[in-house]
Structure 1
Amino acid sequence: MRTFDDILQIAAERHGGRDAALAEIPAPLPPEEIAALPDARFLAAMARGIFQAGISWKVVDAKWPGITEAFHDFEPGPVSMIEGEALDALLSDRRVIRSGPKITAIRDNAVFILDTAAEHGSFARRIADWPVSEFDGLLDWLKRSGARLGGNTGAYMLRAVGKDGYVLSRDVVGRLIAEGVIDKAPTSRRAMAAVQGAFNLWAEQSGQPLTTISRVLARSIG
């Protein structure tokens, strides 16, 4: 397995230098800043990811103001009570993307957020306190406890709120395969543990956050 610096050099050669390979990569937020975010911010990020799955992101962007209004600014309390007539109304509301499974998943995630907040003080606190060195466990928890947060939806949600971590895009997976970390897109806990181990090693070598490492891995391929 190459060192992070070796992979950064590959990305630099593909993109016109090290500065270009590292350009426009946002720094993750410190844990206390994440903990201070309102839980509505997390539900909104979940909803955007759920709605974007399988359709043009531009469509979601265009509808987003109406979606936000229809979903009570993503306050988990009101959203958690969307059922019966309220659910029927949303299913016919032209402001939103009228997919029953996606709408109910957002409602279910509001319940998930409220349940987590009841145990940990806030959903934001739970996310902030999760060790970056165990990011694979965080992704697994979101997948198993939330609704439609598997694949890369959970990872993109975490990136949107500033949590340090990686997104296993096609290019990132391509680099991990090239380095012998995995032999295909990871789906098992064992494969995800191998991915986490590689990211932890590259973080130790470079002092870079996982977000930066993830973006550099992608740029070494794409």
Structure 2
Amino acid sequence: MTQFNEIYDRACERKGGEANIHTLLNEPHSCNALSLRTDDEWLEEFTRKIFQSGFYWSVVNAKWDGFREVFWNFSIDKLLYMSPEMYEQRAQDERIIRNYKKVQSIAINCHMIYELQQEHGSFSTLVANWPSSDIINLWLLLRKRGNRLGGNTGPFALRALGKDTFLLTKDVESYLRANHIIDGGLQSLKSLKAAQQHFNELQQSSGLSMTALSQLIAFSVGDNIIQSS
């Protein structure tokens, strides 16, 4: 039995059977669909995930209409001309969650996306054409050139808008450590490369997306079990 089959069988056992497991899996968007997203959407989702980090997601989501009003629907063309003083002022607006350091990330990530637009035509084109077999280097690009997009923040935003990527959640990390695929810091380059190689091997043997594989691994471990009827 291959390692993928073991993961799949374990996930089915824990999540109510094979018929149910497929209703729980998400599929990424096509390259064409990703390329049609506006670059403003990426800035918005990066900002949402930054504010959700370490905070109640429901509170952030409840405030999100206010964020859109305060930051012009995350229009990159408009935000590029917003002064530091305007960002500081808007960080105090009661319509949003008032966290100045996180608000500052909007300006930095806006400029990052603008710079990458100049290099690649659009940020969406860059993301759409980036191979999932090398997804960790897209993570590293966001971490290096963006602000507060390290750890799982950048990858979660990519996944939310349909990019095919695995996620290093606690369950996935537990699996990788239990199988001696990683043994050092989770975000070290060595661990990221080892995780990428392992997911590439699983994809070659299964034909599934990185998104589905990541979910199956998470379903195969942890405490969340669904009993089949």
- State the TM-score, normalizing by the size of structure 2: 0.93
| Structure 1 gaps, min length 5 | none
Structure 1 residue 19 displacement after superposition: 2.7
Q: Which structure 2 residues correspond to residues 1-222 of structure 1 after superposition, within 5 A?
A: 3-222=3-222
Seq. identity, %:
36
Asked if 1 retains the 8 angstrom alpha-carbon contact of 2:182 and 2:195, the reply is yes
How far 1:183 moved relative to its partner?
2.2
Quote how far apart the aligned CAs of 1:184 are: 4.9
Secondary structure of 1:137's match? helix
CA contact (8 A) 1:173 1:184 kept: no
Q: Kindly state the Cα deviation for residue 2 of structure 1 after the two structures are TM-superposed.
A: 5.6
Distance 1:81 1:6 in 2: 53
Q: Say if 2:88 and 2:100, in contact at 8 Å, map to a contact too.
A: no
Partner AA of 2:54 in structure 1: G
Rounded to whole Å, the distance in 1 between the matches of 2:130 and 2:138 is: 7
**Contact kept in structure 1, 2:68 and 2:74, CA below 8 Å:** yes
Q: Deviations over 1:35-89 (max 9, x none)?
A: 1110011001101001101110011011001111111101112223332431232
Once the two structures are overlaid, the 10-residue window that deviates more, 44-53 or 12-21, is 12-21
Kindly report the root-mean-square deviation, in angstroms, between the aligned alpha carbons of the 2 structures: 1.5
Q: Which runs of 5+ in 2 are unaligned?
A: 223-229
How many residues align? The count is 222
Paired residues of 2:46 and 2:157 also in contact (CA < 8 A): yes
| 140-149 or 87-96, which deviates more | 87-96
Q: CA deviation at 1:185?
A: 5.0
1:176 corresponds to which letter in structure 2?
Answer: L
Q: 1:105 to 1:84 in 2, by over 3 A?
A: closer
Q: Secondary structure at the match of 1:107?
A: helix
What SS does structure 2 have at the residue aligned with 1:22?
helix
After superposing on structure 2, the runs of 4+ consecutive aligned residues of structure 1 that deviate more than 6 Å are: none
Q: Which moved more, 1:47-56 or 1:177-186?
A: 177-186
CA positional deviation for 1:199: 0.2
